[in-house]
Amino acid sequence: MGRTADFLRFIKFSHTVFAMPFALGAMFVAAGGLPSWRVAAGVVAAMVFARTAAMSFNRLADWEIDRRNPRTEGRHRLVSRGAAAAACLAGSTGFVLAAGSLNRLCLALSPAALGIVFFYSLTKRFTDFAQFFLGLALAVAPVGAWLAVTGSFALPPLVLALAVLLWVAGFDLIYATQDFEVDVRERLRSMVVRLGVPGALRLAVRLHVAALAGLAAFGIAADMGGIYFCSLAVVVAALAFEHAEVRRGGVEAVNRAFFHANAVVGAAFVAGTLLDCLARR
* Averaged pLDDT score across all residues of the chain: 92
Quote the pLDDT of residue 252.
Answer: 67
Confidence at 52, pLDDT banded by 50, 70, 90: very high
Predicted confidence (pLDDT) per residue in 136-150, tens digit: 999 999 999 999 999
Predicted confidence (pLDDT) per residue in 171-188, tens digit: 999 989 988 999 999 999
With residue 123 as reference, give the H or E element that holds it: helix 104-123
Cα–Cα distance for residue pair 266/270, rounded to 1 Å: 6
pTM of the predicted structure, to 2 decimals = 0.94
Predicted confidence (pLDDT) per residue in 161-175, tens digit: 999 999 999 999 998
Quote the pLDDT of residue 190.
Answer: 92
All structural domains of the chain? 2-279 (1.10.357.140)
**242, 245, 249, 254 alpha-carbon torsion, rounded to 10°:** -50
Q: pLDDT > 70: what percent of the chain?
A: 98
Quote the pLDDT of residue 16.
Answer: 74
Tell me if 129 sits within 8 A of 170, measured CB to CB. Answer: no
Predicted confidence (pLDDT) per residue in 212-268, tens digit: 999 999 999 999 999 999 999 999 999 999 998 888 776 667 776 778 899 999 999
Residue 59 has pLDDT above 90, yes or no: yes
Indicate the DSSP class of residue 258. I
Predicted confidence (pLDDT) per residue in 266-279, tens digit: 999 999 999 999 99
